[in-house]
Structure 1
């Protein structure tokens, strides 16, 4: 289901029969998944409760309660409903843009699975859910994409097989990296030490690692051998030989994964006999007392952002390298600023700030201010959209690659609305109040999915606001420079007022969370919240000053460029504009003199 939809979005052309065939594969797969999820939910209920299957009232009432009230039952119900919705949409939707949303919904069907099983254990709860979610999502793309290529093979004639295989191969390389990284994190969390590799769980992990390494080797062979053979005209034998071998090892890895899900892990997954308040609330032990050094030495790695940051740096540098190879120049300061922004993003999402923000409001606010102001201030001058549009190759077969999707997004009505300077400023300042004084704050603090949403939200709103002020990437409309300064000062006034409201507050936000951690070190929760208000007020001033300076410099350079343009035009035309202006003044003066 997921592999077919990803290929529809990124590899296949709607002008060719391959497009509709792949959607048929996605629809059929989603239908199978719907039935399989429903049956699995039913059998899980029987397994968990020990109630034999029947059609009487007791069984049906128990099953109804299981799928509506128990998290495991809710997970399988959610998976079934999402798969059913995708089945219908794959038949009903043929628009490429709309299919991107169908693909996102299909990926969402994996979320309930990621939140169950061994990932629900106490130790490393958030990291385990993240690793498992990434693992099954990218494994689905990898395996599903290959199966889809096999199933639509008969429609890939006339030279279509090579470009589709190349595009799938690129997706497969990304999937291999993510699956390997997430698999390592999952294994490390559940095995703990090397001696645990001798346990049944550890042996299964070793078998899966071996299968994954073999798949990596086949991926390299696919890029270097298969595509070359296909270009040379040797199609059938080369294609089926490699596909059969790769599917065999994928089958081994998938079977081992199923066995791992049913095998007890060497690391205990339950809370101790006397859990602390922090462990009950967060599932993690309370960290040691916060010091300045703690922000440097403490780490709580978020795999989503580690992988995201790594890919952001890699693809940016790859784009710069491609420009350099064809003789084009890319300003070095843009590259430096981009990398600095990504490094700062990596630290905030995985470093000491991420360790303490669950327990201290001040650390949470520090993360917020850096994500929404400091990181975008570094990323926006990097001009990633401009770099992407200059380096990614344009497609001519009707399919949509990264360049086509970026162009569509940049020129969409949604982008035009969101990048409007007034809208960006309202989102930037207004979401601050809406976030902290609505249930969104509780969701983002107590739920890992909410936490990830919070980071994305802060980054996007901050990026849009900074882009509207000093951005280089193309947008439909920009304010004149004087109004940019007015907009900046007005927006920052809202920020400062928010910080002051926290400093002077006498009520604790999320008192049953920040006030119930059982901390014996540091400030009281209310004092810590007031410190967070001071951070919101003071740290916000630094980027404001920097932004104001950059806007002023850009304004000055814009005036200088306009002056040079006028001077060159005057030299080229013999000051025709100035002479015409002087003649017009002379005629007006003569007319005034004659009228007297």
Structure 2
């Protein structure tokens, strides 16, 4: 174990930890541990035994499918972990380039393993051996007609696109684009984890996506750190940044894993089943991983930061870090193997469509909620783990930044903190509470969701000035890497960010986007798929934030127009909203009739009457936010005039009112010229 020192552009010296030569062997050992855990767990649960009730697809499908899935999952994890390091952790240059090369190679392995898992999974699902003459026809039907087959093929194609792109691009921006491709593949994979039409389908999909993302960044990030090139060195700062990311990943995996386990167990009594035993084993292994991560964060990393000038102590701490990393990689591999075996084991609550579903369950996948009352708007819930976790994380991060400023001796207005917490609470209610429960079955409730996302939540977020807080709380990085601060500044200053944040563009997106959404297939897409619902939430919240920030915000952004033009933009946009509301109120054609018209409701107005009520909601809910925005513009206009007047008074005191004297002299010269003949 050796140490070196690297000279940064600022002149600071940063300690580097040389990677032990035996560490790549440990990475391979993690894969072997995954296969060993898969074999042990699968044998315990009987996942590899010949089929008894159906035709046996053969030993190749029974054993090859879990192995291919394990390989695919680990390769995908290394891909995403390497991309996250290149985009958010490593300095731009050789280290980030090596991380992208690792991501490209891992994505190639992921593509091959995903295709193998697709072929063998088809054999598993159709009970046809690969050597059967009819298998080719079955495979074609599986990937063209079956929802699961199409999703798996799409994930494999995205893996291939990631492999190609990662080897072509360079820099944090290219790494971020590749990471989006991986997340899209995870979205497709998550949609296959719980049968459409089964109980809690959307909840299971959101939990699975959160679980896959957190586990991949955690496992793949550490593997990428260990694989960063022959003779590569790793900065202690990189270890510290990865450790912070891994802490968040642990929370993501724990929360989503508990939700997914509860959905499939159905109660604590099922812990005694084979599925329950494997789930408990996975939880214990995750707890062990959390303990090792805690040692990294609170022991080794802090020791590395505190003994940078004592080479002997650094060598000892660095060797301890890599030993812990080796243990962590082995346990991570075991967790991955158990997870695949768990996915191959029948859960106590089967992933099958609901027997004898009601009309509402056939259409939405959820039971019809009871007739809405004022109380039920706040007591009914339709959980979304991904968005609920995002709201909770937003509150934690914001408060952490506020406390960091306070410890530094700076102050942050309490009202801004309250505005942010209120915005996150409102967003949670809109996406998980009564608005979400009834927004799936009533157009009027859906319009409540929409208007709250587009007008109320963004107004609260703009008043809390999160970007300004981030820029004040987080220090600038000086090693060429992009942290949250650098990414926000990059997006704000980029051509795309400047264009989208322009007040006129934001106003057009804010008002015109509503018409395009409701009168195109986008509306149906948001109702029938979780991806569409997630897009709707993010899109309208972001567009509303850009529009409100252009009018009254203090966060960095566009070059804001004069205050009279801001009022013109505001009232023009709100007039467009009113026109849209009137059009819905007087319309007689039902939007998405195969959805809202087939609920089988025995309470409430008819579907078309409810849609007309939704038009009134679109017209009415916007009144109060519009009034608040107008008051905000007027107040900022008044304060701007006061500041300008005070600035002029101070300038007059400094120069003896030279500006007024010059103005009077100019008027006198004009009067003198007017009195002259001719």
User: TM-score, normalising length from structure 2?
Assistant: 0.85
Q: 1:538 offset after TM fit, Å? A: 0.8
- Deviations, residues 498-531 of structure 1 (Å, cap 9, x unaligned): 1111111112111111110100011111111111
Contact between 1:305 and 1:346, CA under 8 Å: does it hold in 2? yes
Aligned match of 2:129: 52
Q: 1:270 offset after TM fit, Å? A: 3.0
Aligned match of 1:222: 296
Matched residue of 1:381: which SS? helix
| Separation in structure 1 between the aligned mates of residue 259 and residue 128 of structure 2, nearest angstrom | 36
Q: 1:178 offset after TM fit, Å? A: 0.7
User: Quick check: 30-39 or 192-201, which moved more?
Assistant: 192-201
Aligned match of 2:20: none
Contact between 2:84 and 2:175, CA under 8 Å: does it hold in 1? no
Aligned match of 1:389: 471
Aligned match of 1:258: 340
| Separation in structure 2 between the aligned mates of residue 482 and residue 457 of structure 1, nearest angstrom | 28
Contact between 1:42 and 1:63, CA under 8 Å: does it hold in 2? yes
Contact between 2:384 and 2:431, CA under 8 Å: does it hold in 1? yes
User: Quick check: 469-478 or 516-525, which moved more?
Assistant: 469-478
Q: Which gives a bigger RCO, structure 1 or 2 (Cα 8 Å, sep 6+)?
A: 2
Contact between 2:123 and 2:135, CA under 8 Å: does it hold in 1? no
| Separation in structure 2 between the aligned mates of residue 171 and residue 121 of structure 1, nearest angstrom | 35
| Separation in structure 2 between the aligned mates of residue 326 and residue 52 of structure 1, nearest angstrom | 66
Aligned match of 2:239: 165
Contact between 1:229 and 1:238, CA under 8 Å: does it hold in 2? no
Q: 1:443 offset after TM fit, Å? A: 0.5
| Separation in structure 1 between the aligned mates of residue 523 and residue 579 of structure 2, nearest angstrom | 19
1:448 to 527, 530, 537: 530
Q: 1:248 offset after TM fit, Å? A: 2.4
Alpha carbons of structure 1 residues 268 and 45: separation in structure 2 relative to 1, 3 Å: closer
- Deviations, residues 468-513 of structure 1 (Å, cap 9, x unaligned): 1111112231110011111111110110011111111112111111
Q: 1:190 offset after TM fit, Å? A: 1.1
Matched residue of 2:676: which SS? helix
1:242 to 324, 340, 349: 324
Matched residue of 1:117: which SS? coil
- Deviations, residues 135-185 of structure 1 (Å, cap 9, x unaligned): 01110110000111111275543xx43111111101101101111110111
Tell me if 1:135 matches 2:211.
yes
Matched residue of 2:282: which SS? helix
Aligned runs of 1:331-370 on 2, under 5 Å? 331-370=413-452
Q: 1:228 offset after TM fit, Å? A: 3.2
- Deviations, residues 319-357 of structure 1 (Å, cap 9, x unaligned): 111112222222221111111111111111111111111
Contact between 1:18 and 1:155, CA under 8 Å: does it hold in 2? no
Alpha carbons of structure 1 residues 203 and 445: separation in structure 2 relative to 1, 3 Å: same
User: TM-score, normalising length from structure 1?
Assistant: 0.96
Q: 1:427 offset after TM fit, Å? A: 0.5
| Separation in structure 1 between the aligned mates of residue 523 and residue 618 of structure 2, nearest angstrom | 16
Aligned match of 1:85: 161
Tell me if 1:12 matches 2:65.
no
User: Quick check: 244-253 or 552-561, which moved more?
Assistant: 244-253
| Separation in structure 2 between the aligned mates of residue 127 and residue 272 of structure 1, nearest angstrom | 15
| Separation in structure 2 between the aligned mates of residue 113 and residue 590 of structure 1, nearest angstrom | 84
User: Quick check: 359-368 or 95-104, which moved more?
Assistant: 95-104
Matched residue of 2:382: which SS? coil
| Separation in structure 2 between the aligned mates of residue 313 and residue 380 of structure 1, nearest angstrom | 15
| Separation in structure 1 between the aligned mates of residue 555 and residue 629 of structure 2, nearest angstrom | 17
| Separation in structure 2 between the aligned mates of residue 109 and residue 272 of structure 1, nearest angstrom | 27
User: Quick check: 17-26 or 369-378, which moved more?
Assistant: 17-26
1:416 to 498, 503, 508: 498
Query: How many residue pairs end up in the alignment?
Result: 592
Matched residue of 1:595: which SS? coil
Aligned match of 1:38: 115
Aligned match of 1:557: 639
* Structural RMSD (CA): 1.6
